[in-house]
Structure formats: C-alpha cells, structure tokens
Structure 1
Amino acid sequence: MLSRQSIVAYDETQRPTLKKALLLGDAISDLPKVDNYQPHEVIEYGGQPKTDFQRYIRLSRKDMLDYSFGDATCPEEGKLLDHQPLRLNQDDYDRVQQIPIKKGANFRDLPGVKVGANNIVEWDPEVERVYLKSGKPLVPDYAMSFIKGRSPKPFGRLWWDETVPTVVTRAEPHNQIILHPNQGRVLTVRENARLQGFPDYYRMYGPMKEKYIQVGNAVAVPVARALGYSLGRAYQGE
C-alpha cells in the first residue's frame, strides 16, 4: 500500500516545535491603569515595555517597515492611542466592582449564588438576595440562566497567565469573559487591538462601539501578513 502524509502545514515525519503562547500579561501588562470612563483618545504610556512583544508592538511605523500608509506621518507618534474602555452603566459598574480580583472570578463569586450538581448555578436559599442602589439585583437573572446555568462567562475576569481565545466585537460583560484582571472595567479598544496584533500606531475611528467592531472583525495582523507573504511567494513560484 502507498504511504500518504500531509505536508501542507508541516512534514508529518518531523516533530513540530511550537513557539511559546502569547499570554494576556505578555500583551498588555505595560499599559497604564484607566477608569471605567476614560474620555481621552490619546494619552501617555507612562512606563516602559516589559516584554519582547510589547517592545515590538510599540515600534513606530517606520521602524516596523510598514509602507501600507505611504509616507504619511502620525502626529501622535510615541503616544498611546485608543486606550479607552466601553463605559459601563452604573449598575454594571457596581457589579464589576464586586467581582473578586482573582483568577477565574465571575458572577458565581457574588453573594447568593451557589454552584450545584453538574456545575449548574442556583440561588442559595440561606442568603438573602442583594440589590443595587438602583433597586436592580446584584446578580441579574440572565446571568443565572445563561446557557441553562452552566456558563461561568457572565462578568468573568481574564487573567494574566491565560490566552484569550476570542477578541469579541461587543464589550458588554453580560455573557463573555472580558473584564480586566485587576481593574473595574472591560478591556479597552487598545488592549483588544494588542490581542489582534495591531501595532500601537494604528488608530481606530468612529464611536466607541464601532471601534470594538473594527478590531474584533479584523483578521489578526500577524495572520494577514503571513497570508500575504505566502501568497506572494506562491505567485513567484517559490
């Protein structure tokens, strides 16, 4: 019988060596602390890069040899762009403030929530339900019922030593893990852009929600460059 093997991704007879995964801390730990409401599109970095990725992603357009913008210059070069989070409403902000600062924290850590059989949440009958100043419950019903009570995603915190599987187009924390590890807010547009491999000199335009959509719907920049490079080599017959 003929022996067949796949050589599309790599030679199956060779043991592939994977690079170390880029973790959340590697990508964003150098960015300054900001509040739930940060009105400025351009601010100072306020500190030095801490990782090789951060040193690279901060390079200027010229140093990164990116000619896609022609000879255009950026008046904000050396500044931090779009480091702004979607501003949470008061109720959600109050909820986020009570999510513990620890790995894996989410709405299940709030008072009155109990994890029962098959990892399904239920109300703790021994704990009186807590309400916010607005009169709405601290733990909303939709969090308890999301994916039939099996999901830990509502109001979930990311953590420094984790990879982020998906950069979302919406920044609401109601049904996804998007809270900053130790700040009371969602990830900023710039933090999301970092996770998509956008150099810091890229500037997003439009209302805040549209900026998140631009980043979330984009093909990750390193992937786009790799595809372009491969297509170029194929076209040249290499």
Structure 2
Amino acid sequence: MDIVNYLRPKYVLMENVVDILKFADGLLGRYALSRLVAMSYQARLGLMVAGSYGLPQFRMRAFLWGALPSVVLPKFPLPTHDVINRGVVPNAFSQCLVAYNENEDKHLKEALLIRDAISDLPKVGNHQPNDVMDHCIGPKTKFQQYIRLNRKDMKDYSLGDATPKEGQLFDHQPLQLNNDDYERVQQIPVKKGANFRDLKGVRVGENNTVEFDPDIPRVLLSSGKPLVPSYAMTFIKGKSLKPFGRLWWDETVATVVTRAEPHNQIVLHPNQNRVLTIRENARLQGFPDYYRLLGPIKQKYIQVGNAVAVPVARALGYSLGQAYQGEFDGDYPLFKLPRNFIPMDQATLTRLSEGTSRGEVEEAE
C-alpha cells in the first residue's frame, strides 16, 4: 500500500490466499480496503475460484481491485465452468464470492477433472533428468488440444522464446524422491483414495484416527527405517488422509502447491509411482505447454504454485481492458465474459480436435 501511495497508478490489482480474510476475523482484508479508500481509490474485493474458469483445481484466492476516481473501476468476471467444491468461503466475506446467484440461469460448462488435463502426458519415472523430451501421445481432450497449441494459434502476442519444435515437451520432470520415500510410494495401491493408511501395519480406529496394528510387527524399509513414518500417523492428530495420498483421474485438486513432497499432501500420480511433474502442475494451473520454466526443479515448482492461474489472470486482464476503454456501465460488480473469450481460432480447434471428445479419454499407462 505504501508503494501504491508513492506511485499513484491508475489501477491496482492485488492477490492473496483466502487466509488474509480469515486472519483476525478479516482484519487484514478490511485494512487493505480501507488503505485504498483512504488514498481516494475506488476499491472492490472478490473471491475467485480457479476451477470456475476451466481448470481441475479449486484454488480460491482473494483479489482486490483499485482505481483512481478518474477511471472506471474494473469488475469481476463471472464463472465460465462448473466446479467441484473443495474450499470454504470466510463467512464475513461471503458476499464477495464471484459467482452466480442460485436462481440465475448459469449456462456453465462442465467441470474439468484431472484426466482432462494430464492423461496425454507420457509416462516418466521417479528420476527423469531431461527438461526437454518427446511428446509421443496425441491429445485426448479439448483441454489438451488447447493447452498444446503453439503461441501463434493461441494468439499470444507477448514477448518470449520462439515456439518449441513440434513434438517437444518441456519440464515433464517430477521431484525425485529419496530411496525411502520412493520405496513407500511403490507400496501405495493404485486405486482411488489410496494413501499411507493402506500400508501394512496401519489400522483405523475410533473417530477415523489411525493407529499401529499391535498384531502386525512394524515393517521396515531396505534402509532399516519404518515403512510407516511416525509423522504420517500423528499428522493432524492421526485424522489426515493426505500423507502419501494418490490423486485419481475423476478428481480435482484443492490447489496446486509449491512443494512436491508427499509427506503431508496428496501429490502422487494416479497410476505412476511418483509425484506430479512440473508440467502436470503447470497444466493444472493452465500454463500453455510452450511455456518453459527456468531454474532448479524445486524453484520451478515454486514458480508454478505461486502463480495466479492463467485463465483467472486472463479473465482479470480482459476486465482491465474493458474498464480502461470505458466499456463498463453501472455499479454492479460482476460481468459475463464473451462466449468466444478463449482466444482460439475456430479453424484451429476444428483441425486439432476432429473426432475427439471427452468420452474417448483413455487413462495414460
């Protein structure tokens, strides 16, 4: 806010996790709004869900628009897709959720699932040292057809590297697990909902709390360490399903995170014994495949996990453009995106998607 006060830009856009509205009964959120108003800015707060704009993750985030009195205050774009609910709206700010009213005719597109985003990516192992590899599997869903478009077909006029060669795939690398964790992951069943609770020696007691089975000797890894680590048994007082959790094709993720360790979050691939790769996380965030990340693998995960989801950023950018051109009328804080908002040429879509439908998706082996 001090920087805003110094620069006095025409427009301000800030983003943060929803906890900024939960902390101290929303004190920080109200403070942010009051600072803008005190500087004579128009201000508008909205809670946007990334999955509502065509991604298989929930990812609710708080966005704050500011605009000088001399310009039009941008509005928040209404959802384009249905979404599987994975989060809780802070009660004090429930009126700030960017969504249709219950009685409105929404015409939303179908919610996307994990299979829609990553089922075409080639199989890789726990150790995959190459940041460029061949893309040997064709797209299986419309999302995949779109995300694989080159910069020209996606109508991306931003500066950047040249379009990659046909069939190249960037950053399809998982964080390499250490030997102990890799041995544990190999014993997590390939089924929906699998996690550390499926390992030998664990049983679920009263109140859905895990405990060691006294009738089964503690299983050890090749290193001599226990197969079931104590931290998994005690995480969230033994009630968590997250340690060494396996995602599934017909699910979504709550949010793409910055760390790929499986110790306290569900990040294992549906049917491969590894964590999701950087590219798979990038797909879940809506990054086109021609985006190539730089730096060590852990830094790439952080770059993807900290980013505003691309469809959300694009929708907000469209709102800014409309406001700058004075296209918005009235004080109603929400608006509908145009039907052709996704910047893809129809001829390109037809050429790439002929004969493909969501129902034809096959799970990648």
In the superposition, the TM-score normalised over structure 2's length comes to 0.62
Structure 2 Cα separation of the partners of residues 178 and 18 of structure 1: 28
Report if aligned partners of 2:185, 2:274 keep a CA contact under 8 Å in 1. Answer: yes
- Residues 65-104 of structure 1 aligned to structure 2 (within 5 Å): 65-69=155-159, 72-104=161-193
| Uncovered stretches (5+) of structure 1, i.e. residues with no partner | none
- Please name the residue that 2:217 is paired with: 128
SS in 2 for 1:122: strand
- Please name the residue that 1:60 is paired with: 150
> CA distance change for structure 1 residues 76 and 210 in 2, over 3 Å: closer, same or farther?
farther
> CA distance change for structure 1 residues 215 and 21 in 2, over 3 Å: closer, same or farther?
same
Asked if 1:20 corresponds to 2:110, the answer is yes
Asked if 1:162 corresponds to 2:162, the answer is no
Structure 2 Cα separation of the partners of residues 218 and 125 of structure 1: 46
Report if aligned partners of 1:21, 1:163 keep a CA contact under 8 Å in 2. Answer: no
Shift of 1:10: 4.1
Shift of 1:84: 0.3
Structure 2 Cα separation of the partners of residues 73 and 50 of structure 1: 26
| Uncovered stretches (5+) of structure 2, i.e. residues with no partner | 1-94, 328-365
- Residues 75-224 of structure 1 aligned to structure 2 (within 5 Å): 75-224=164-313
**Larger Rg, first or second structure (1 or 2):** 2
Number of corresponding residues? 233
Shift of 1:146: 0.2
2:124 alignment partner, one of 23, 34, 37:
34
Structure 2 Cα separation of the partners of residues 36 and 61 of structure 1: 30
- Please name the residue that 2:135 is paired with: 45
Aligned structure 1 segments of 4 or more residues deviating by more than 6 angstroms: none
SS in 2 for 1:192: helix
Amino acid at match of 2:145: R
Shift of 1:12: 6.4
Amino acid at match of 1:26: D
> CA distance change for structure 1 residues 210 and 111 in 2, over 3 Å: closer, same or farther?
same
In the superposition, the TM-score normalised over structure 1's length comes to 0.94
Shift of 1:13: 5.4
SS in 2 for 1:43: strand
Report if aligned partners of 1:59, 1:199 keep a CA contact under 8 Å in 2. Answer: yes
Shift of 1:42: 0.6
Amino acid at match of 2:305: G
Shift of 1:236: 1.3
> CA distance change for structure 1 residues 55 and 149 in 2, over 3 Å: closer, same or farther?
same
Amino acid at match of 1:74: T
Structure 2 Cα separation of the partners of residues 14 and 67 of structure 1: 36
Shift of 1:74: 3.1
Report if aligned partners of 1:169, 1:212 keep a CA contact under 8 Å in 2. Answer: yes
Q: CA RMSD in A?
A: 1.8
SS in 1 for 2:298: helix
More strand by share: 2
- Please name the residue that 2:326 is paired with: 237
Percent identity between the two aligned chains: 75
Amino acid at match of 2:297: M
Shift of 1:47: 1.1
Shift of 1:18: 2.7
